[in-house]
Amino acid sequence: MSPSPSRCLSRLLAACLLLPVGCETEDGPTPVYRQEVVVAGSAFQGVHGLALDGKGHLLASNLLGQSVHSVDLSTGAVTTVEGPPLGGADDVTFGPDGSLYWTGYFTGQLMRRPPEGTTRVIATNLPGLNSLAFRRDGRFYVTQVGRGDALWEVDPDGNTPPRLILSGLGTLNGFEFGPDDRLYGPLLSKGQIARVDVDTGTVEVVAEGFGMPTAVNFDARREHLYVVDAVRGALVRVRLPSGAKELVAKLPTGLDNLTVGPDDQVYVSNMVDNGIHVINPADGSIRPVVESRLSVPSGLAVAPEDEDERLYVADVYALRRVGGRDGTVTQTTRVLSTPMTFPMHVSLGEAHVVLSSAYLGNVQVLDRASGEVLRTLPNTNGVQGALELPDGTLLLAEASTGRLVRVDTAEPAGITVLTEGLEGPVGLVAETEAEEPGVYVTEVRSGRVTRVRLRDGARSTVAEGLQAPEGIARHPDGGLIVAEVGRQQLVRIEPATGRLTVLASGLRIGLPESEGLPPGYVPTGVAVGRSGTIYLSSDIESALYRFVPVP
């Protein structure tokens, strides 16, 4: 049956409301685009700590999305319990009185939300705050991971300062207290499961030989331990007191945390796949609770010669290849199980892929054909965009210092400051074919797009008055396409005149910034294919969109 004229008219009106109408200007017609979904989104930006509330819901922490969510186990529906800025949780648990507690990894804050009440911060200045658990007597413990390596006792009411118990354990992660009131948890850097007496400080190894154990929980009878191994993608049962190991289920790599229900069903989070699965230990069967095809899509790149416009997606917990035309994920390189480290930006050279990560503070150069990591360069200055120039040197945007720096090809690498004084540089795109080669950079703090001459670092303003510009790409005709995150719109800028055209608005982009993170931390990525189709990542929705030119 053909659609009615009224339905066709309503669809046309809806499209006109979403997209700009073409018109003639002194610079020619305004382009018009049709917005389409490439990959549908998710409620999460990576899933981490889990906790069951005993009422048919699973609480899940969402670190980069700065939220704590509740998953209805009967329907799979996801709701937000706490959003930004206090919701940035790495792990979550319930206290004896039913209060919900969670850890802010980046902010170093510990939050408490009573059953009926408002969220408040009960501890601060604990960077890398990660895991947490209560002992049977109500004493409360947390650990620092990555940005620290320590075990602390914390007042659940926040009335007294945290007390240091142990430091230098070997990265104690997701832990739980056993029936003997000892703390059981994984030592990430040692591949071991340890038992800790928090009263005496005694540490004993109860099992070892793991790739990267990230969390443990006792079974429903509190006799044996379930362990998730992130590198091997395994759920393992450790028999106590012998420490004997038994594989319960094999899953994709990137497992982060787990919780066990009273029926002994094991719920496991996977940050790489942005999902949660439940495992029946009796037969090893696996059932999805929450699924997603992307985790935290950020930087985007597409080869200009690629007729199929296959995208490189810096997905924070993975580097993925996604078909720009059909959304098919054809290749995934995962963190933890490979040398790749949490990519947030991606750019393409003739033979290389360049990734940068403010998450772990480094830049990586990969072989474009094989995907092999060729170089890893540390940079803790809030590194954002990274480009490989024709001579093989790298150009990096340091959002925290406001510098653009060159990194040469030598080992160890030498660094030269090209320019400084930029205000939150995030996105980079090169114009190396010009008579005076340069690079365009978005400044998220100043709201400018600036051109920097590669010869001497001289700067000129291309456009200003933007609100939090992040991702930037060049159209085949030379125009600049920019994600203006502060106004949640996609704009085109003419480099010669600075004229700005809004291509799409009302976009779901721009997670709020959080304390402890560099400017533009989770960047909104932009890429343009040879057809003129524009691709945009949505950090809020964990989705990927395309904007197709309308003839």
Encode the chain (551 residues) as per-residue pLDDT tens digits: 333 333 333 333 233 333 443 333 445 567 899 999 999 999 999 999 999 999 999 999 999 999 999 999 999 999 999 999 899 899 999 999 999 999 999 999 999 999 988 999 999 999 999 999 999 999 999 999 988 899 999 999 999 999 999 999 999 999 999 999 999 999 999 999 999 999 999 999 999 999 999 999 999 999 999 999 999 999 999 999 999 999 999 999 999 999 999 999 999 999 999 999 999 999 999 999 999 999 999 999 999 999 999 999 999 999 999 999 999 999 899 999 999 999 999 999 999 999 999 988 999 999 999 999 999 999 999 999 999 999 999 999 999 999 999 999 887 889 999 999 999 999 999 999 889 999 999 999 999 999 999 999 999 999 999 999 999 999 999 999 999 999 999 999 999 999 999 999 999 999 888 777 889 989 999 999 999 999 999 999 999 999 999 98
Shared-domain flag, residues 343 and 453? yes
Cβ partners under 8 Å of residue 457, min gap 6: 404, 417, 418, 419
Shared-domain flag, residues 210 and 302? no
Shared-domain flag, residues 338 and 469? yes
The pLDDT score that the predictor gives to residue 27 is 53
Q: Is the torsion defined by CA of 357, 362, 368, 371 positive or negative?
A: negative
CB 362 within 8 A of CB 344: no
Which of 290, 305, 339 is the C-terminal boundary of a domain? 290
In a domain, 410, yes or no: yes
In a domain, 338, yes or no: yes
Cα separation values, 471 from 101, 152, 225, 306, Å: 35, 40, 45, 21
Shared-domain flag, residues 275 and 305? no
Q: Is 3 helix (H, G, I), strand (E, B) or coil?
A: coil
In a domain, 342, yes or no: yes
Which of 269, 290, 311 is the C-terminal boundary of a domain? 290
Cβ partners under 8 Å of residue 29, min gap 6: 22, 23
Shared-domain flag, residues 300 and 284? no
Count each helix (H run) and each strand (E run) in the chain, helices first: 1, 50
Shared-domain flag, residues 339 and 234? no
Shared-domain flag, residues 215 and 282? yes
Shared-domain flag, residues 255 and 402? no
In a domain, 54, yes or no: yes
In a domain, 182, yes or no: yes
Quote the Cα angle for 245-249-255, to 5°.
95
In a domain, 393, yes or no: yes
CB 323 within 8 A of CB 312: no
Shared-domain flag, residues 110 and 213? yes
Report d(CA 498, CA 208) in Å as an integer: 60
Report d(CA 269, CA 214) in Å as an integer: 11
HSE at residue 407, side-chain half, CA atoms within 13 A, is: 23
CB 539 within 8 A of CB 444: no
Shared-domain flag, residues 352 and 225? no
pTM for this entry? 0.91
In a domain, 233, yes or no: yes
The amino acid at residue 436 is: E
Shared-domain flag, residues 111 and 230? yes
Domain count, the chain: 2
HSE at residue 365, side-chain half, CA atoms within 13 A, is: 19
Within 10 A of 163 (CB to CB), how many other CB atoms are there?
A: 10
Nearest to 539, CA basis, from 523, 527, 519: 523
User: pLDDT, tens digit, for every residue of 521-535?
Assistant: 899 999 999 999 999
CB 208 within 8 A of CB 194: no
Domain that holds residue 341: 29-41+294-549
Q: Is 265 helix (H, G, I), strand (E, B) or coil?
A: coil
In a domain, 11, yes or no: no
- Assign residue 403 the CATH number of its domain: 2.120.10.30
Which of 249, 266, 290 is the C-terminal boundary of a domain? 290
Report d(CA 133, CA 142) in Å as an integer: 7
Shared-domain flag, residues 466 and 523? yes
Under DSSP, the state recorded for 315 is -
Report d(CA 357, CA 380) in Å as an integer: 9
